[in-house]
Amino acid sequence: MVGLVENSVESIEVVPTGAALGAEVRGLDLSKPVSDQLKEKLIELWGEYMVLLFRNQDLTDENILATAEVFGGQQIAGSRAFFLKAGYKAGESDRVSKHAGISLVSNLDQNGKPAKVTAGVGSLEALWHTDNSYVEVPPNGTLLWSEIVPTNGGGETSFNNQYRAYEELSDEFKEAIEGKHICHDNLRNTAGRLRPTAKEPESRNEITGPAHPIVRIHPLTGKRCLYLGRRYEGNSSYIDEMPDEEGDDLLSKLWAHATQEHLCWTHDWHPHDLILWDNRCTMHQRNPVDHTQARVMHRALIKGEPIISAWDEQAAAE
């Protein structure tokens, strides 16, 4: 944002996508300080639109981390521990940034060349998910900044509105999920591939991610959202309170419901776009990338707070 002197509430313009969620916020330079008043406004917009897009942001990793502070502080990605355990060294590898709060989401291999498959998600599709749902306290949100993106080479990212997914469930469906929790798969990355050092689970007992309520309450709005997290082929996320087959059948129906087209908005990246999404009330998915073209994104997670369960009447009433 060349020429902008100072960020202010008055200088911003909000352009809703017109889809089920998302808005572009214009008139800000996030490499510059954000006042308390502006911070309040941005958090309000985030609560309203769930996904915010800021274009033409010329940012360093330090600027991205400073932006994370605006929205509640940073959280270290769950995947970092897997990479460190597998012998990747912080700051020496593209996978593990020297900043604990930054992850590189890139399709470059160890030689810096675009590749279809890497130790991360590479150029593969990232299936619908919310970030780090496999940890006890998942991040409230995510910042993703595009350094390099392909030209007409895939890698578009879609988001969907999980308040609406909940609201549009039939009464029968709502009754079927009442009081239930999902145990979240912590063994696979978002392309459905096993993480470094993880082994293919032989039964669902080997899925050791935490159990979270299927419906959570968003602390900013007090409203209910469907919280499915992630699910892959084979032994994966499951409903804690139900036998395998019955639970799998219900999950398949819920996933089909939650990922319908009308709940969704898709972004086609340009270099230096920054997107902030809410992991409490949205899911996201990424199309496969043309593996001959580089795609390099920098990501910071926004610190989470303990999940408020819709099944906890006291918390839900507050």
Give residues in contact with ligand OGA (CB under 6 A). Answer: 105, 126, 131, 142, 144, 157, 190, 284, 286, 297, 299
| Residue 131 sits in the site that holds Mn ion (CB under 5 A) | yes
DSSP 205: G
Nearest residue to 27 (alpha-carbon basis) of 4, 50, 49, 48: 4
Question: 296, 271 in Cβ contact below 8 A?
Answer: no
Residues with Cβ within 8 Å of 172's Cβ and at least 6 positions away in sequence, in order, are none
Select the binding partner of residue 298 from ligand OGA, Mn ion, none (C-beta < 5 to 8 A, by kind).
none
Shorter beta-carbon distance to ligand OGA: residue 224 or 295: 295
Pairing between β-strand 141-148 and β-strand 102-106 as defined by DSSP bridges? unpaired
Shorter beta-carbon distance to ligand OGA: residue 157 or 237: 157
CB of 8 to Mn ion, least distance (A): 32
CB of 267 to ligand OGA, least distance (A): 8
Residue range at the interface with Mn ion (CB under 5 A); choices 37-45, 127-135, 268-276, 290-298: 127-135
Shorter beta-carbon distance to ligand OGA: residue 156 or 312: 156
CB of 243 to ligand OGA, least distance (A): 31
| Residue 278 sits in the site that holds Mn ion (CB under 5 A) | no
Shorter beta-carbon distance to Mn ion: residue 131 or 185: 131
Whose tokens are 């968003």? That residue is 218
Nearest residue to 129 (alpha-carbon basis) of 237, 279, 266, 284: 284
Single-letter residue type at 185: D
| Whole-number Å distance between alpha carbons of 38 and 33 | 10
Residues that bind Mn ion (CB under 5 A): 131
